Amino acid sequence: MEHKGGLLLDPDYGRNPTSQEASGWRKLTGIGMKPEVIVRLAGPSDARSVTALLLELGCTVEGSQVRDRLSRLEGSTSDRAFLAEIDSRAVGLLGMHIAPLLHRDSFGRITALIVTQEHRGHGIGSRLLSAGEEWALSQGCTQIELNSGDQHAPAHAFYESHGYHSDDRRFVKEDLG
């Protein structure tokens, strides 16, 4: 992945797409050329786009909450929100958290990953995942974890195709107040 002006750019941009890719991207661009996907950090001004992506993921959030959370993340050294855009339109999101531990090396946790339905299957999720993995590695992480509900079976196949596997058991206590 190439870094230019703080942006992560697609190293395959400009290559000749396979016939399957060209067919899929033709639907998106109308001309059969792969559009440029830019992955960048999200900020408070992206709250509307991030909210729409989180709603598509199935989260219950409001724009003002998302704006406040993005403001907090902006000053965090352990959190990032990566936004994928095509023609300045948000098409994907990856939320990431770094957790320092006492008993082993730090690990990264994917807190959200969504690509809009119409843009799935074109490598955008892979680009977001790579951006998160690169950042986690730069922060000294030796592994990345995520949770994915049973209702997201296609996502499970995606993660497995990128080297992730199901492990351990999770216990949750809610309503701590």
Calculate mean pLDDT across residues 17-35.
49
Phi and psi at residue 93, to the nearest 5°: -150, 140
Nearest Cα to Cα of residue 132 among 60, 72, 84, 89: 84
pTM, to two decimals = 0.77
pLDDT band of 29, cuts 50, 70, 90: very low
Cβ atoms of 38 and 84 within 8 Å: the answer is yes
pLDDT tens digits along 88-129: 999 999 999 999 988 988 999 999 999 999 999 999 999 999
Q: How confident is the model at residue 64 (pLDDT cuts 50, 70, 90)?
A: very high
Domains of the chain: 2-161 (3.40.630.30)
Predicted confidence (pLDDT) at residue 21 exceeds the cutoff of 50: no
